[in-house]
A = this chain, B = another copy of it.
Amino acid sequence: MGLAGHEVLAAVLQVRAGSLQVMLWERAREPHARRWSLPGGGLGDHEDVEASIRRQLAEKVDVRQLTHVEQLAVFSAPGRVPGPRVVATAFLGLVPSDTDPVVPSDTAWHPVDALPATAFDHEAICRRARHRLASKLSYTNLGFALAPPEFTISALRKLYSAALGYQVSATNLQRVLSRRGLLEPTGAVAPVGPSGGRPAALFRFASREMRVTDPFAVLRPPSSRSLGT
């Protein structure tokens, strides 16, 4: 059984100021000093990889602000970091847009499509995280992890547009999510803006656990209609 260093890394994503951003810290020491790096670190002996990444992120960001964590992939190229071989398990983490975690002074948020110079293979991990997020927004209820507990439809539209990288229609977004039973009105309305206009109704996600909502894109099992009676 090969012995190898094992680290866990997370691309923590949040929609900030209208764009999808990732949390990075600036390396002070070699290797790759002054380059930006994903948070993470070594795997402890008595924790699994998910517990480990949650523990390590707790040093950067309040755990309660992490609304979703999932494995992305293993990165294991022998030369991915200088020196002895280190295998990395990469994660995607999500933080809702209404929080502004207090981060250490070496840590900052960067728009995912304008990354600074990054360390090691961390840019590839960011790309993977972005892609996973965009995919899951389409076929799961993962939007809850980016959104505050309550939000207006136009706020939600901005979140989805930023995360997907293209504009989505508020009208159709509401209808798709409502038909699937993901969205429910709270009954309250948001305060109105400086320039008037109708106050927006507030909504929440019906569930804050990730659930697949579109399991069979095609090749669905036979409908119950043709089986019944």
A222 adjacent to chain B (CB < 8 Å): yes
**Interface residue A71 (Cβ < 8 Å from any Cβ of B):** yes
Q: Say which residue of B49, B87, B138, B222 sits within 8 Å of A217 (CB atoms).
A: B138
Across the interface, which residues of B come within 8 angstroms of A217, CB to CB?
Answer: 138-139, 214, 217
A30 / chain B contacts, CB cutoff of 8 Å? none
- Residue among B3, B4, B47, B164 making CB contact with A219, cutoff 8 Å: B164
Asked if residues A214 and B221 are in contact (CB atoms below 8 Å), the reply is no
- Which residue of B5, B42, B43, B78 contacts A46 across the interface (Cβ within 8 Å)? B78
A201-229: CB near B (< 8 Å → 1, else 0) gives: 00000000000001111110110000000
CB-defined contacts of A176 to chain B, threshold 8 Å: 218-219
A196 CB to nearest B CB, Å? 29
How far, in angstroms, from A46 to B5 measured CA to CA in the complex? 13
Residues from 97 to 150 in A contacting B, C-beta threshold 8 Å: 135, 137-139
* Residues on the B chain within 8 Å of A168, using CB: 219
Specify which of A42, A74, A160 lies most central, judged by the most chain B CB atoms within 10 Å of its CB. A74
Question: In which size bucket is the chain A interface?
Answer: 35 or more
Query: Is A16 close to B, CB under 8 A?
Result: no
Q: Are A6 and B138 in contact (CB under 8 A)?
A: no
Interface string of A83-95 (1 = CB under 8 A from B): 0011101000000
Q: Tell which of B2, B6, B76, B164 touches A2, judged by Cβ atoms closer than 8 Å.
A: B6
| Interface membership of A44, Cβ < 8 A | yes
Contacts of A86 in B (CB 8 A): 1
Residues of B within 8 A of A44 (CB): 2
Does A26 make an interface contact (CB < 8 A)?
no
Could you tell me the distance between the alpha carbons of A68 and B137 in the complex, rounded to whole angstroms? Answer: 27
- A interface residues with partner B (beta carbon < 8 Å): 1-7, 41-49, 71, 73-74, 76-78, 85-87, 89, 135, 137-139, 160, 164, 166-168, 173, 176, 214-219, 221-222
Question: What are the 9 tightest A-B residue pairs by CB atom distance, in nearest-first order?
Answer: A1-B5, A1-B42, A2-B43, A2-B42, A48-B76, A49-B76, A166-B221, A217-B217, A139-B217
